[in-house]
Chain A
Amino acid sequence: MLSLPSILQEAHAAYEPILPAWILLLPLIGAAVNGIGAFNWRANKAIPSVVGPAAVIGAFAIVVANFFAMSAAAPHDPTIVSLWTWMAAGDLRVGVDLQFDQLSMLMMLVVTGVSSVIHVYSVGYMREDPGYSRYFAYLNLFVFFMLVLVLGANFAITFVGWEGVGLCSYLLIGFWYENEDFASAGKKAFIVNRIGDFGFLVAMFLVFVHFGTLSFESVFAAAPTTLAYGGAVITAITLFLFLGCTGKSAQIPLYVWLPDAMAGPTPVSALIHAATMVTAGVYLVARSSVLFAMAPVSQAVVAAVGAGTALLAATIATQQYDIKKVLAYSTVSQLGYMFVAVGIGAYTAGIFHLMTHAFFKALLFLGSGAVIHAMHHAYHAVHSHEDPNDMRNQGGLKRFMPITFVTMWIGTLAISGIFPLAGFFSKDEIIWYTGAYGYGILWGIALLAALLTAGYMTRLMVMTFHGENRTGQEAQSHLHEVPAVMWIPLAILAVLSIVGGWVNIPDALPGLPAVHALHDWLHPVFEPARSILEGHGVHAAHTSPIGGGEAMWAGISTVAAAVVVLLTFRALVRRSWKPAAESVEPTGLAGVLYNKWYVDELYDRTIVLPLLALWRGCWRLVDAGLIDGSINGLAAGTRAVGWIGSLFQTGRVATYMFYFVTGVLVILATFLL
Chain B
Amino acid sequence: MMESFFFLLFAAMAAGGAIMMIASRNPVSSLMYLVLAFFALSGIFVLLDAHFLAAVQVIVYAGAIMVLFLFVIMLLNLGHREDIDLRGHLAKLVALVAGSALFAAVTALVLRGDEASLASEESRMAVDAMVRSRGAVGALAEPLFTSYLVPFELTSLLLLVAIVGAIVLARRRAP
Q: In chain B, residues 80-119, which have Cβ atoms closer than 8 Å to a Cβ of chain A?
A: 87, 91, 94, 98, 101-102, 105-106, 108-109, 112
Cβ A654 vs Cβ B109 within 8 A:
no
Query: Is A654 a contact of B105 with CB atoms below 8 Å?
Result: no
* Whole-angstrom distance between the Cβ of A625 and the nearest chain B Cβ: 44
Residues from chain B with a CB closer than 8 A to the CB of A654 are 87, 91
Bound-state CA distance A20–B94 (Å) is 95
**Is the CB of A671 closer than 8 A to any CB of chain B?**
yes
Q: How far is the CB of B56 from chain A (nearest CB, A)?
A: 28
Contacts of B102 in A (CB 8 A): 661, 664-665, 668
A668 touches B106 (CB 8 A): yes
Query: B95 → chain A, closest Cβ, in Å?
Result: 9
Set of chain B residues within 8 Å of A602, measured between Cβ atoms: none
Alpha-carbon distance between A607 and B166 when the two chains are bound, in angstroms: 85
Is B98 within 8 A of A668, CB to CB? no
Answer yes or no: A647 CB below 8 A from chain B CBs.
Answer: no
Nearest CB in chain A: distance from B76 CB, A: 18
Using A658-B94, A658-B98 as known contacts, list a sample of 17 further A-B pairs with CB atoms less than 8 Å apart, ordered by residue number in A: A654-B87, A654-B91, A661-B98, A661-B101, A661-B102, A662-B98, A664-B102, A665-B102, A665-B105, A668-B105, A668-B106, A668-B109, A669-B105, A671-B109, A672-B108, A672-B109, A672-B112
Interface pair A672/B105, CB less than 8 Å apart: yes
Distance A668 CA – B106 CA, assembled complex (angstroms): 7
The distance in angstroms between the C-alpha atoms of A669 and B87, with both chains bound, is 28
Contacts of A665 in B (CB 8 A): 98, 101-102, 105
The 6 lowest CB-CB distance pairs between A and B, nearest first, are: A668-B105, A661-B98, A665-B101, A672-B108, A665-B105, A661-B102
What is the distance, in angstroms, from B54's C-beta to the closest C-beta of chain A? Answer: 28
CB contacts between A and B, total, < 8 Å: 23
Q: Please, what's the 1-or-0 string for A633-673, where 1 marks a CB less than 8 Å from any CB in chain B? A: 00000000000000000000010001001101100110110
Name B94's closest neighbour in chain A (CB-CB). A658
What are 23 A-B interface contacts by the 8 Å CB criterion? A654-B87, A654-B91, A658-B94, A658-B98, A661-B98, A661-B101, A661-B102, A662-B98, A664-B102, A665-B98, A665-B101, A665-B102, A665-B105, A668-B102, A668-B105, A668-B106, A668-B109, A669-B105, A671-B109, A672-B105, A672-B108, A672-B109, A672-B112
Q: Smallest distance from the beta carbon of B103 to chain A beta carbons, Å?
A: 11
List the B side residues contacting A662 at CB < 8 Å. 98
Interchain CA distance A672-B111 in the complex, whole Å: 11
Q: What's the least CB distance linking B23 to chain A, in Å?
A: 16
A492 to chain B, nearest CB (A): 105
Interface of A is mostly: helix
Residue of B nearest to A672 (CB): B108
Chain A residues closer than 8 Å to B87, beta-carbon distance: 654
A661 CB to nearest chain B CB (Å): 5
Q: Closest A-chain residue to B87, C-beta based?
A: A654
Distance of A615 Cα from B166 Cα, bound (Å): 73
Binding site for B on A (CB under 8 A): 654, 658, 661-662, 664-665, 668-669, 671-672
Question: Across the two chains, which residue of chain B brings its CB closest to A669?
Answer: B105
Interface residues of B toward A: which range? 10 to 19
Q: How far is the CB of A197 from chain B (nearest CB, A)?
A: 74
A665 and B109 CA atoms in complex are apart in Å by 12
The chain A residue sitting closest to B101, CB to CB, is: A665
Residue from A654, A658, A668 having most chain B Cβ neighbours under 10 A: A668
CB distance from B66 to the nearest CB of A (A): 21
Bound-complex Cα distance A658 to B97 (A): 11
Complex Cα spacing A654 to B106, Å: 21
- Please report the C-alpha to C-alpha distance between residue A654 and residue B22 in the assembled complex, in whole angstroms: 14
- Hey, which chain A residues are within 8 Å of B108, CB to CB? 672
A contact residues around B106 at 8 Å (CB): 668
Write out the residue numbers on chain B whose beta carbons fall within 8 Å of the beta carbon of A672.
105, 108-109, 112
Tell me how far the C-beta of A415 lies from the nearest C-beta in chain B, rounded to whole angstroms.
100
Give Cα distance in the complex from A671 to B91, angstroms.
28
Instruction: Tell me, rounded to whole Å, the shortest Cβ–Cβ distance linking B25 to chain A.
Output: 17
CB neighbours of B105 from chain A (8 A): 665, 668-669, 672
* A327–B141 alpha-carbon span in the complex (Å): 119
Closest to A660 in B: B98
- For A665, the closest partner residue in chain B by CB is B101
Task: Report the bound CA distance from A662 to B102 in whole Å.
Answer: 9
Determine the distance from Cα of A309 to Cα of B80 in the docked complex, in whole angstroms.
108
Interface string of B52-90 (1 = CB under 8 A from A): 000000000000000000000000000000000001000
Hey, which chain A residues are within 8 Å of B94, CB to CB? 658
Output the least CB separation between A31 and chain B (Å): 85
Distance of A654 Cα from B94 Cα, bound (Å): 11
CB distance from A589 to the nearest CB of B (A): 91
Q: How far is the CA of A665 from the CA of B108 in the complex (A)?
A: 12
User: Given the complex of chains A and B, what is the CA–CA distance between A658 and B105 in angstroms?
Assistant: 16
Taking CB atoms, residues of chain A closer than 8 Å to B101 are 661, 665
Write the chain B residue with the least CB distance to A657.
Answer: B98
**B170 nearest CB across to chain A (Å):** 20
Q: How far is the CA of A654 from the CA of B101 in the complex (A)?
A: 17
1/0 contact trace for B115-138 toward A, CB 8 Å?
Answer: 000000000000000000000000
Contacts of A668 in B (CB 8 A): 102, 105-106, 109
What is the minimal beta-carbon distance from A648 to any residue of chain B, in angstroms?
15
List chain B residues, Cβ under 8 A from A671. 109
Residues of A within 8 A of B91 (CB): 654
In the bound complex, CA of A665 to CA of B106 (Å): 9
Q: Which of B87, B94, B98, B108 has the most CB of A within 10 A?
A: B98
**Interface members, chain B 22-58 (any A CB < 8 Å):** none
- Report Cα–Cα, A664/B106, bound state, in Å: 10
Kindly list chain A residues whose C-beta atoms are within 8 Å of the C-beta of B112.
672
Find chain B residues with CB under 8 A from A661 CB.
98, 101-102
A658 to B87, CA, bound (A): 14
CA A671 – CA B108 in complex, angstroms?
A: 10
Query: In angstroms, how far is the closest chain A Cβ from the Cβ of B18?
Result: 16
Q: Which residue on chain B has the smallest CB distance to residue A667? A: B105
Query: In chain A, what residue has the closest Cβ to B97?
Result: A661
Question: In angstroms, how far is the closest chain A Cβ from the Cβ of B57?
Answer: 25
Nearest chain A residue, comparing its CB with the CB of B112:
A672
Shortest C-beta distance, A356 to chain B (Å), equals 102
The answer for the CA separation of A601 and B69 in the assembled complex, in Å, is 96
Q: Which residue of B lies closest to A662 (CB)?
A: B98
A69 to B69, CA, bound (A): 119
B124 to chain A, nearest CB (A): 25
CB of B67, distance to nearest CB on chain A (Å): 24
CA distance A671 to B105 in the complex (A): 9
- Give the complex CA separation of A668 and B101 in angstroms: 10
Cβ of B114 to closest chain A Cβ, rounded Å: 14
Q: A665 to B94: give the CA distance in the assembly, Å.
A: 14
Closest to A671 in B: B109
In the bound complex, CA of A669 to CA of B106 (Å): 10
Q: How far, in angstroms, from A536 to B37 measured CA to CA in the complex?
A: 117
Query: Measured between alpha carbons, how far is A662 from B109 in the docked complex, in Å?
Result: 17
**Alpha-carbon separation in the docked complex, A658 to B94 (Å):** 9
Task: Give the docked Cα–Cα distance between A671 and B117 (Å).
Answer: 14
Complex Cα distance A358/B109, Å? 102
> Across the interface, which residues of B come within 8 angstroms of A664, CB to CB?
102
A325 to B62, CA, bound (A): 113
A658 to B98, CA, bound (A): 8
- Cα distance A664–B98 when bound, in Å? 10
**Inside 8 A of B98's CB, which chain A residues have their CB?**
658, 661-662, 665
